[in-house]
Amino acid sequence: MLAGLTVAALAQESTNDSFWDDPAGHPLLPVYAIILLVFITAILTAVVGIYLIKILNLLATQAEHEKARKLGKVYVPKITWWSALVQKLNASVPVAEEKNIELDHNYDGIRELDNHLPPWWKWLFWGTIGWSAIYLFVFHLSKSLPLSEAEYQHEIALAEEQARKLKASQPVTAIDEAALEFTNDVTLIEKGKVVFMNNNCGSCHRNDGGGNTIGPNLTDDYWLHGGDIKNIFATIKNGAIEKGMPAWGKAMKPEDLRDVTFFVMSLKGSNPQNAKAPQGDLFKPAPEKSDTTDVQASL
Ligand code: HEC
């Protein structure tokens, strides 16, 4: 217990991290490993030792038997320290002496013995009382070890700190219609094309975006829900469910929504054959902003 307390105290002092947060990188790992190794070796040695002693005992008893038989004497088993200990721990009354502790009631031949609690049980009982004193002192009076509640709070604080670090290390750019700007980025548009194909947008809009009986033409300048990037993104995200356009916001990652929006925008003016007639209002893009550095910084 002393060794355990020392190690625990050391661990508390040397680092704020709990051992299980990063076992491999913990500074006390070698110490713990050695303790574990010693522990395992001790147990194995004890097991082997006990078996050896048992075998030796058996051989010795056999020899004694043999000796007694040769001398024509009755073999009397020696009282070993072990059998003495077992006797002391149990203090059971031998069957031959049970008459002495018999209580004088008898139910249909079932008699009761006035046996005392075995000493091992009583020692255990006193032991728990002693342990409770140690516990009280360590956890409540000297407060040298934290209670479960404090341990819990500590773990939570650690986890929150880790989550905070993780968040800080990978700032998320919110992708929504409010902050979205079109970038003519070929890789994003290519990704958007894959999203378009994988989600069968073409089943309603045709793979070239020309439109069919269900979905409108996505390549012309006429839009039912607005042709600005923010409008297109919002239409794809929220859908026009009563008109047959599903809402993709729940099914797709924001990045995919953005990329497929870019792809749809890149279709503009591609003039596929047999495209569907324009629907909705003509959309004229606002004049290009001369300064885009703000936008770049905010993305
Ligand atoms: C089940 C058929 C269907 C599927 C699949 C579908 N759409 Fe649509 N989509 C429509 C319909 C119908 C409309 C027109 C809604 C209306 O009339 O208001 C539409 C409208 C749109 C619009 C707005 C067009 C405008 O004129 O304002 C965009 C952009 C669009 N879809 C993109 C997509 C993308 C991207 C996908 C795949 C992720 C997709 N659609 C999948 C049926 C579909």
- The pTM is what? 0.51
Report how far apart, in Å, the C-alpha atoms of 89 and of each of 54, 85, 92, 115, 174 are: 20, 6, 9, 14, 72
Residues 163, 166, 167, CA angle at the centre, nearest 5°? 85
The second-level CATH assignment, the architecture, of 186-285 is Orthogonal Bundle (1.10)
Q: Can you tell me which atom of ligand 1 is nearest the CA of 225? A: 27
Give Cα separations from 106 to 101, 109, 111, 112, 213 (angstroms): 13, 6, 5, 7, 98
For the chain, first and last CA: distance in Å? 57
Chain centre to alpha carbon of residue 220: 52
The Cα–Cα gap between 72 and 66 comes to 10
pLDDT score of 18? 72
Q: Ligand 1: which of 196, 204, 242, 262 to mutate, most ligand atoms within 8 Å of CB?
A: 204
Indicate whether residue 224 lines ligand 1 (CB < 6 A): yes
The tens place of each residue's pLDDT in the chain, 299 residues long, gives 556 656 665 655 555 567 777 888 888 888 899 999 999 999 999 999 999 999 998 999 899 899 999 998 888 877 888 888 988 888 888 888 888 888 988 889 898 999 889 999 999 999 999 999 999 999 999 988 899 999 999 999 999 999 999 888 877 667 888 878 888 889 999 999 999 999 999 999 999 999 999 999 999 999 999 999 999 999 999 999 999 999 999 889 889 999 999 999 999 989 999 999 999 999 987 776 555 555 444 44
Q: What is the dihedral of CA 193, 196, 198, 204, to 10 degrees?
A: -140
Residues 71/77/82/86 CA torsion (nearest 10 deg): 180
Cβ of 233 below 6 Å from ligand 1 = no
- In this predicted structure, what is the pLDDT of residue 5? 54
d(CA 118, CA 85): 12
Q: At 111, which helix (H) or strand (E)?
A: strand 110-113
Please give the pLDDT value at position 3.
Answer: 65
Q: Is the CB of 204 under 6 A from ligand 1?
A: yes
Q: Which atom of ligand 1 is nearest to the CA of 261?
A: 35
State the pLDDT at residue 176.
82
Ligand 1 lined by 199 (C-beta under 6 Å): yes
With b for 16 or more beta-carbon neighbours within 10 A and e for fewer, the 90-115 pattern comes to eeeeeeeeeeeeeeeeeeeeeeeeee
**pLDDT at residue number 298:** 47
User: Tokens 């009982």 correspond to what residue?
Assistant: 125
Going from the Cα of 148 to the center of ligand 1, the distance in angstroms, rounded, reads 56
Distance 208 CA to ligand 1 centre (A): 13
